A and B are shown apart, each in its own frame.
Chain A
Amino acid sequence: MTVTQDKYILKVDGLGVTYGNVVAVKNVGFGVLQGEIFGLLGPNGAGKTSTLSAIESLIKFKTGTIEVDGYDVQQKPLHARASMGVQLQSTSFQSELNVIQILQLFSGIYGVPMTKDKINQVLDEIGLADAGKKKFGQLSGGQQQRVSLVIATIHNPKLVLLDEPTTGLDPQSRRQLWERIEAIRDKGHSVLLTTHSMEEAEAVCDRIAIIDHGTVVAVDTPEALINRHKDDPEVIAVSRRGKVTLEDVFIALTGKTVRA
């Protein structure tokens, strides 16, 4: 873990999100430190997406506060959004635009216009030097993720939000993306990622929060969580092949029932 100083880039406190009469998130609180990769884990419908949407100020929330680099997302949404880069779960860009045009669009709206030379240099760095004139939809899943990640970090944000970034990627692309995420962290940025892959959480996250039924049930490093729960009877009961993993702890804390 390379937390450079004890400074929270993201602070979520007492968050409550409701949709009509349905309570999606209740009293959720956690913080992401500068220079750490923080994982938000939870079963389907646990409240991860609602929490992320509240941080992105895409939805209004009823209770609590969220600050990104000191900016309240409800009071100063544009400042908060300018302080973060986001990679959505299903990223889509205008299908008529090519990769260069998409990069020009997002560099412009983040206030960091890029010349064609700079764009070509960026594309070269992610191994897509020849793909500039291609439409986004013509790229492979791994290539699309690389472009999306470049766009999420194009303005050098303090916080990068990645919503299930490795879904649908082959092992090679996934490993490569992990390295890119770690490189983002190593440059001093903070990363908040959601994932269903416990392997991914163990491999790249410095700390994780497990969320279930709209509340945070555990926050710690993956190792600390495993060590704390490895002797719990519920964990041992769900453990396979004799070695307790993060997935065993996750299943024990959130239950074996399959969620919708």
Chain B
Amino acid sequence: METIVPKSSTVFATLFRADLATAVSNRRSVVISLLVPMIILITWKGLIKLIGGPAVLATSITIGLIAIGLMSYTLSIARDRDKGIFQRLRVAPVPTWAIMASRISIQMVMIMVLTLGTFIIGYQYDGISLNAQGYILTFAVAILGGAVYLSLGQLIVGLIKNFETINATTRITYFLFIMVGMVGGIDSMNATVKKLVNFSPYGCVKMMLAGSMEASKWTSDTSTAVIVSIAYIVVFGGIGISKFKWNTK
């Protein structure tokens, strides 16, 4: 009997298939991550004249990205750790990076589906259209924005072990971001508070998305938002990965 250590690419592909099947079967996650942004897009049709189509599109994508990073990714990692699923995988010849890379890849696929879905619904139902450059740039920025929330999710599962506490924390953070988005839209807001809101994880992603949809709206603040977003990814992801434990004991 010769010891076979499977190729990392084979292991990754197998994990990806299983994680994809899990994600597709998990209807609640799909509904929260993909349907809620679509519902916003449809119900906010009346606001297009007021705040503009790109702003509605940017808000829908941002809400979807938050849901994917905070609810879908974080809760699936927390649940699987709590149930011992990671430990079962780790006693197999599976590199730990492959387990995480597979999970993150699934979320990236969801981000792409969300963004494309929002483009299609936005065009078909609300008549929101962008030029080719706008679509490509928005697609790329959505991936960057998604990475911000995924790294925030990683930070949460890195710092907190208990599933129930993670569940509560992600919901509160999700709600907080929605509130931040609403507060950020109030013009009479104090300038410092407005700046904090604009460069919060919510504000940065929304600003980047709005700027990527219309080249004329890309300002120096938008460029700063890109740098701040990368900093969020490095800091949140770095701490989240270094503090992450594979079991809850």
Contact = CB atoms under 8 A, between A and B. Distances in A.
Given A88-B91, A109-B92, A109-B94, A101 B3 contact: no
B186 interface: no
Interface string B87-130: 11111111100000000000000000000000000000000000
A156 B2 CA distance: 10
A58 B84 CA distance: 12
A158 B85 CA distance: 23
A109 B89 contact: yes
B242 interface: no
Given A58-B87, A97-B22, A108 B10 contact: yes
B95 A81 contact: no
B90 A82 contact: no
B25 interface: yes
B11 interface: yes
A96 B10 contact: no
Interface in B13-43: 13-15, 17-18, 21-22, 25-26
Contact of B21 (A71, A101, A108, A158): A101
Contacts of B84: 88, 90-92
A56 B21 contact: no
Contacts of B10: 108, 111
A155 interface: yes
Contacts of B94: 81, 109
A94 interface: yes
B132 interface: no
Nearest to B23: A96
B4 interface: yes
Given A94-B22, A94-B85, A96-B22, A111 B6 contact: yes
A111 B4 CA distance: 7
Nearest to B99: A109
A58 B246 CA distance: 9
Nearest to A86: B91
A107 to B, nearest CB: 8
Contacts of B80: 94
Nearest to B89: A109
Nearest to A91: B88
Contact of B11 (A71, A109, A161): A109
Interface string A80-104: 0111101010111111110001001
A69 interface: yes
B4 A155 contact: yes
A56 B15 CA distance: 20
B92 A108 contact: no
A128 interface: no
Contacts of A82: 3-6, 93
A108 B7 CA distance: 10
A58 B90 contact: yes
A169 interface: no
B1 interface: yes
A81 B92 contact: yes
A131 interface: no
B12 to A, nearest CB: 9
A112 interface: yes
Contacts of B217: none
B88 A88 contact: yes
12 contacts: A69-B3, A78-B95, A82-B3, A88-B88, A97-B21, A97-B22, A104-B18, A109-B89, A109-B92, A111-B7, A112-B4, A158-B1
Interface of B: 1, 3-7, 10-11, 13-15, 17-18, 21-22, 25-26, 80, 83-85, 87-95, 246
Given A94-B85, A104-B17, 18 more contacts: A58-B90, A78-B5, A79-B93, A84-B91, A91-B84, A93-B85, A93-B88, A96-B21, A96-B25, A97-B21, A101-B21, A104-B18, A105-B14, A105-B18, A108-B14, A109-B89, A110-B6, A111-B10
